[in-house]
Amino acid sequence: MGLPDGGLLTLLIGGSLVAGWIDAVVGGGGLVLIPLMLIVFPGIAPATAFGTNKVAAIWGTATAAALYLRKVTVDKRIVAISVPVAGGFAAVGALAASAVSSDVMRPFVIVLMLGVGAFVVFRPQFGATTESATPVGRGRFVVAIAMLAVIGFYDGVFGPGTGMFLIITLTALLHQNFLQSAAMAKVANTATNVGALIVFTSQGHVMWLLGAILAVANIAGSVLGSRLVLGRGTAVVRYALLIVVIVMAIKLSIDQFA
């Protein structure tokens, strides 16, 4: 499938830039770019939109990860382990995606997102500071790795909210602030994108030329989003997270009941 006409291509490039910005701040850029691709290419298979989105998202998320890790101190053990764990389970999830109904997943994810949003609202100090006085025990470390596997699998199967779930999970389990969790989440999310892309590629569900063009815009958006977060700190991540919860819950509810 070739490239769309100039105006539609410009629309996709703009959407990819916005998606890169959103992914760099908290995650959820796929909710912008994937629907745009389905509109521009009405006959496209959803899996092809997902695969092409992964091409762009990998580069944007990896750029954000590199920028965050230059400025933020993180647990290097989790960073190193997250790549094979999250990426491997995302590939497994992508292989299992055809066997899991989106209609079954959506209600569960909606409830989970609203629960996360309520928790953040009613715990204003959550993610604001690092609980340095509380060491991370082996049990919490093991649970964090297990959750990276679960979230990686989820990203391969369904996907919406992966970045948000990573940030909340890492903040809760590792006694760190939103900025540290966001940095680690970008690494894990890059890995999940790679794992899923490998599967989509093997199935022929990638438009490589379009993906390469969109990747450039995604990187630009990622740089802008990363600079905003690194300049403003944890408060930006907190507010962005709550906005994404609301938008995603509404979008998934519309998809479920339309």
Mean pLDDT split into 10-residue runs, the chain, 258 residues: 86 94 87 87 86 93 95 88 95 83 76 81 70 67 93 86 87 86 93 94 93 97 93 82 82 79
pLDDT for position 185 = 93
pLDDT for position 133 = 47
Residue 1 domain flag: no
d(CA 40, CA 12): 8
d(CA 24, CA 22): 5
Residue 137 domain flag: yes
Task: Please name which of 61, 5, 19 lies closest in space to residue 210, comparing C-alpha atoms.
Answer: 5
Q: What stretch of H or E contains 225? A: helix 208-232
- C-alpha distances (whole Å) from 250 to each of 13, 31, 96, 161, 257 are 25, 11, 26, 13, 11
Residue 240 domain flag: yes
Residue 43 domain flag: yes
Residue 14 domain flag: yes
d(CA 152, CA 231): 29
Residue 230 domain flag: yes
pLDDT for position 217 = 97
Number of structural domains, the chain? Answer: 1
* Under 8 Å between Cβ of 155 and 199: no
Range of the domain at 217: 6-257
Residue 79 domain flag: yes
| pTM listed for this prediction | 0.86
d(CA 43, CA 123): 45
Residue 12 domain flag: yes
pLDDT for position 141 = 87
Contacts of 28 (CB under 8 A, 6+ apart): 22, 160, 161, 163, 164, 244, 247, 248
